[in-house]
Amino acid sequence: MVYVWLVLLALLVYVLFKRIYTPKYLKTLTQEEFIQGYRKAQLIDVREPREYDSGHILGARNIPLSQLKQRLKEVRTDQPVYLYCQSGARSRQAAAILKKKHGVEDVSHLKGGFRKWTGKIKKK
């Protein structure tokens, strides 16, 4: 029984680490830094369509994390990629997919995600 608890605890620590850890290739940008560069980059909202439709950063394309692997060809590898989601967790996952499966080198995400965004937004 003790082994089961140790395995569950180890699994929990691993999952929490993966959600919090930001790899070296991913730049975490403040809102001000994000605003300075996102017009020169591919701005991608990785939230689900219903979240995107309720409000998104002006100029953002919606490629949900759940569809990213099937839609990799829509992301150029020769331009910077700026990602955001609701809190930052999904954009970290999206960055890992873009780096490992598609070879994107210049990838950044918004610190705190869309919920911390105070800039202009567009609603559908």
Active site residue 85: yes
DSSP 8-state code for residue 82: E
* Angstrom distance (rounded) from CA 42 to CA 49: 18
- From 60, 85, 95, 98, the catalytic residue: 85
User: Residue 41 contacts by C-beta under 8 Å, 6 or more apart in sequence?
Assistant: 79, 80, 81, 82, 106, 108
Could you list the active site residues? 85
